[in-house]
A = this chain, B = another copy of it.
Amino acid sequence: MSILVVGSVAFDSVETPFGKAEEVLGGSATYFSTSASFFTGVNLVAVVGEDFPDEHIAGLKGKGIDLAGLKKVPGKTFRWKGYYGYDLNQAHTLETHLNVFSSFNPEVPAAYREAPFVFLANIDPELQMKVLDQVKKPKLVACDTMNFWIEGKPDALKELLRRVDLFVINEGEARELSKEASLVKAAKVIMGYGPRVLIIKRGEYGALMFTASSMFAAPAYPLEEIFDPTGAGDTFAGGLMGYLANTENITEENIRRAIIYGSVMASFNVEAFSLQRLHTLKPAEIKDRYYEFRRLTQFEDI
């Protein structure tokens, strides 16, 4: 089954303790789609400016990503500039230029409207809702957000969450949204807003999933070097949703496996700047690291 994703396509300028990259391909929808494309077909809804090169279009198409929903409009593509210190869980923003993104009004092409899996990457919750208004009864709606919207549009975000099945959010944002320090309490508050599955991302510490009846803890894969954490969260979500769409199974048991596949994809993505590592990644490497996650976590019958 295919996935509909709406989000940003951007140019990032990033500096980490290990190097720097100028104006490289980035954006939540880009990372998400590229990651999900290893598992299933992806239909992308986003906007870029006239400066967006054909080479990137070809790169995304080469991954089997359907770009009928990617609009090219007059103006410049969204740009983000930031850096990371040794605490790679914390991105520091230096510049954000929304450019063509400031007037983005997502239109879902007719051919995408029956997409069974929908991922609303981190954009204005009002735009996320506009996308939901255009689709017909998806099997699963998932979304992400960020502190900017939690602080700036809390009511729209809560209205959106009533229509969301699976919510992916990072640890600090979960605490901010729920006003609870304990993640167990935070999860109860947030699930009260609507989502029946909550996944809290903890960067190098992995992810926690909460449902009404259970908790699941997935570690991050311990790496010798985390080169660039940009896009790790969207790559995680792409692997997660890609696996769910591929298996057409949204039982809790399968969501656990999907979280591991998301973690696998994120662990590769941070090994290089931009999408470089995902561009050289082989399916066999994904399978191998999935088995490494099993070895990493098992304490019985190993």
Contacts and interface: CB of A to CB of B under 8 A. Distances in A.
Interface of A: 17, 86, 181-185, 202, 205-206, 208, 214-219, 222-226, 253, 256-257, 259-260, 294-300, 302
Contacts of A214: 295
Given A183-B222, A215-B296, 7 more contacts: A182-B223, A184-B222, A185-B225, A205-B206, A206-B217, A215-B222, A259-B299
Contact of A256 (B208, B216, B224, B302): B302
A191 to B, nearest CB: 14
A300 B296 contact: no
Nearest to A224: B184
Contacts of A183: 222
Contacts of A253: 299, 302
A205 B208 contact: no
Given A205-B202, A205-B205, A302-B253, A296 B222 contact: no
19 contacts: A182-B224, A184-B223, A184-B224, A185-B224, A185-B225, A202-B205, A205-B205, A208-B219, A214-B295, A215-B296, A217-B219, A217-B296, A217-B297, A256-B299, A256-B302, A259-B299, A260-B299, A294-B300, A297-B299
